[in-house]
Amino acid sequence: MRNPTSLILLLFTLGPLALATAGCGKRAPASPDEPFTSLAEAYLEDVLRLWPTQATYLGNHKYDGQLEDFSPPALQKAASIYEKHRDNLRQIARDRLSPQGRVDYDVIARDIESSLFSLSRLKQHTWDPNLYNETLGFSVLLLTLQDEKSDLWPQRFESLLSRLRQVPHFFEIAKSNLADSSRTLVEFTIEQNAGNVSFLRDALPPLFERAPRIKAQLEEENTRAVAAMEEFGRWLKDDLLPRAGGDWRLGKELWTEKLRYTLGSDVTPEEIQARAEEDIKRTRQELLAIAEPMHARFFPKHRHREQGEERINLVVREVIEKVSRDHSTPESLYDDVKGYVEKIKKFIRERQIVSLPPDDDNLFIEPTPGFLNGLAVAFFNPPPALEPELKKSYWISSIPSTGDPARDRQRQESYLREYNNYGLQSLTIHEAFPGHYVQHYLTSRSPQVSVVRKVFQSGTFAEGWAVLMERIMFEHGYADGDPANLLIHKKIQLRAPMNAILDARLHTSAMSDAEADAWALDLMTRYGFQEQTEAIGKLRRAKVTSTQLSTYFVGCMELEDFYRDVKARMGERFVLKDFNDRLASYGALPPKMVRELMLADLKL
């Protein structure tokens, strides 16, 4: 999963503008795009002021000392600012812009409409307590992502001191805003808030040594901030939870509207569901073809008379259970992943899949921060758009804990079976090589990617690229001679279409909570062969997020259709590495926009 940065960054998608004025130096000479460029600069300045955590995330540090203001007057002002920029944008003659200008114009127009939808229709600040939890978590974390010897620590910690002072008021606004929450969201936020508390209480204070002049003040304000966060956790449990009668579902109308903004695609929900069902049916047949000879070898005396879907369920399940015993231990997990990174990079170079970043590019493999731990199994956290040389992280979440030793051992084993030695390789391909990390590296260094595109990146393209890269790696022989590895890849391949089906049905159907849980868990465990721990986590994620789970399948569907189309048209002229490098070079735009640009360049 490419790091969503935080729910605030999903709710208020800071546009494209991306730092056109933020430390970019001299402006270019006048051009046909000049009126649009001026509008973009003004929009950027306004939006950075509105959402300071996102400004920090992008690498603009002008507003590092501020926190988001979610009070009703501030949000009304934000809506009026977006409306003003929408009106201004409509005065620009799009057809008179350069081809690159038209792309950026469309990106900005879409972002403005998405932001107005979030403010006027979605209103996440009124029902999602995790919006506040993640906003605060990132507002602190982002100021600590510096090289250990950086001379910027005192400056960043001056800003951190200012943000810490605002934490109590920040949570008072949260309490006054939150009304119609669901138990699911509140219970999830209670867990995530504990991760935030732990980060501020345990991980942050040792860093204060890097700002000795204000160390005492940092410690004092941090203590107050931790107390405010702990109080927020008690309020969630004792006040909001007992009256949490809201529905975690968006409902068909709201979900469909949000899906359109999330995907940036013309594909309809009905088309997505039909293609997802076809993909699941085809992949399950492929799983059976791989599993049957393995089953005959592993279980020579075990015969199944069942046919059809039930035969797939039984045969494939038994083989997966057998090969999933080959897994890491909690102590060896991170070292094992680092070993797989080297194996995967070697294969990419040998088969000329895509260009790779240099080995000294500052990628870290480390645990997921506490306030995100449990939302997904892994993330790629990119560096800021304006600070591409800063740390990049491949985050892996911890093995779930309940506090019950017996139950924890069971959950731990389930987790490790799901992310067995083969599953960890697929996970690493998706998150890092040649998935999110490589795509981000190539995009951020492409000379034709405008500042707009570097900052405003389509999650549909990012997730689609990562899933497509998984498929391409195995199509080109990554598991040659290792059917167990191919089997687990195909099992993981089922997740993308199942994610889309889960997202749509859970948020739009009239099923009761019990019916929804039973249906979703059956889909994932019986038909998707997922471990119980994985399925329970994905069910919770599907409930506390919406539309993001559709990006994996839709992005891969659109990019894979394009990949196979270009390959067929070019025939012997098609070179995989050239195609993938070029695909990333346009920026993480919605796939339909990348397709249009690339077909024009290839003259196809």
How does pLDDT run across 488-499, given as a tens digit for each residue?
A: 999 999 999 999
Contact between 418 and 321 (Cβ < 8 Å): no
Residues 492 and 596 in one domain: yes
Q: Which helix (H) or strand (E) holds 365?
A: strand 363-367
Q: For residue 587, is it within any domain?
A: yes
> Domain end: 191, 218, 248, which one?
248
User: Where do the H-state alpha helices sit in 476-547?
Assistant: 483-493, 495-508, 513-522, 532-544
Identify whether 268 is part of a domain: no
- Residue 270 domain flag: no
The answer on 340 and 210 residing in a single domain is no
Which of 22-36, 177-191, 355-369 is least confident? Answer: 22-36
Segment among 9-13, 318-322, 393-397, 451-455 with least mean pLDDT: 9-13
Is the Cβ–Cβ distance between 139 and 200 less than 8 Å?
no
* Residue range 107-118: mean pLDDT, rounded: 95
Radius of gyration of the chain (CA): 24
Residue 500 inside a domain? The answer is yes
pLDDT at 28 over 90: no
Identify whether residues 349 and 479 lie together within a single domain. Answer: yes
**Total domain count, the chain:** 2
The helix/strand/coil state of 514 is: helix
Asked if 343 and 234 sit in the same domain, the reply is no
pLDDT (0 to 100) of residue 8:
39
What's the pLDDT at 92? Answer: 96
Same domain (yes/no): 431, 544: yes
Residue 405's pLDDT band, with cuts at 50, 70 and 90, is confident
Q: At 353, is the pLDDT very low, low, confident or very high (cuts 50, 70, 90)?
A: very high
Residues 6+ apart with CB under 8 A from 329: 416
pLDDT at 10 over 50: no
End position of a domain, from candidates 188, 217, 248: 248
Q: Does the residue 124 lie in any domain? A: yes
Confidence of residue 30 (pLDDT cuts 50, 70, 90): low
- Among the candidates 190, 214, 248, a domain finishes at 248
Whether 444 and 575 share a structural domain: yes
Domain that holds residue 52: 7-248
Residue 16 has pLDDT above 90, yes or no: no
Q: What is the pLDDT of residues 56-100, one digit of tens each?
A: 999 999 999 999 999 999 999 999 999 999 999 999 999 999 988
Q: Are residues 223 and 339 in the same domain?
A: no
| Position 435 pLDDT exceeds 90 | yes
Show the tokens assigned to 158.
């001056």
Q: Which residue has 């994905």 as its token pair?
A: 538
Structural contact between residues 576 and 38, judged by C-beta atoms closer than 8 angstroms: no
In a shared domain, residues 28 and 170: yes
Whole-model pTM: value is 0.93
Both 409 and 523 in one domain: the answer is yes
CA distance 359 to 581: 18
pLDDT band at 556 (very low <50, low <70, confident <90, very high): very high
Examine residue 281 and state whether it is found in any structural domain, yes or no.
Answer: no
What is the spatial distance between Cα 520 and Cα 516, in angstroms, rounded to a whole number? 6
Q: DSSP code of 369?
A: P
Distance, in Å, from the CA atom of 364 to the CA atom of 3, rounded to the nearest integer, reads 14
Is 291 part of a structural domain of the chain? Answer: no
Q: What is the pLDDT of residues 486-535, one digit of tens each?
A: 999 999 999 999 999 999 999 999 999 999 999 999 999 999 999 999 99
End-to-end, the C-alpha distance of the chain in Å comes to 32
Looking at the fold, whether 96 and 208 belong to one and the same domain comes out as yes
State mean pLDDT over 144-173: 96
- For CA atoms 247, 252, 253, 256, give the dihedral sign: positive
377 — pLDDT class (breaks 50, 70, 90): confident
455 pLDDT tier (thresholds 50, 70, 90): confident
User: Does residue 96 sit within a domain?
Assistant: yes
Residues 6+ apart with CB under 8 A from 557: 267, 272, 275, 279, 464
Average pLDDT of the chain, as a whole number = 92
Is 244 in the same domain as 338? no
Asked if residue 215 and residue 352 are part of one domain, the reply reads no
Q: What is the mean pLDDT of residues 408-423?
A: 93
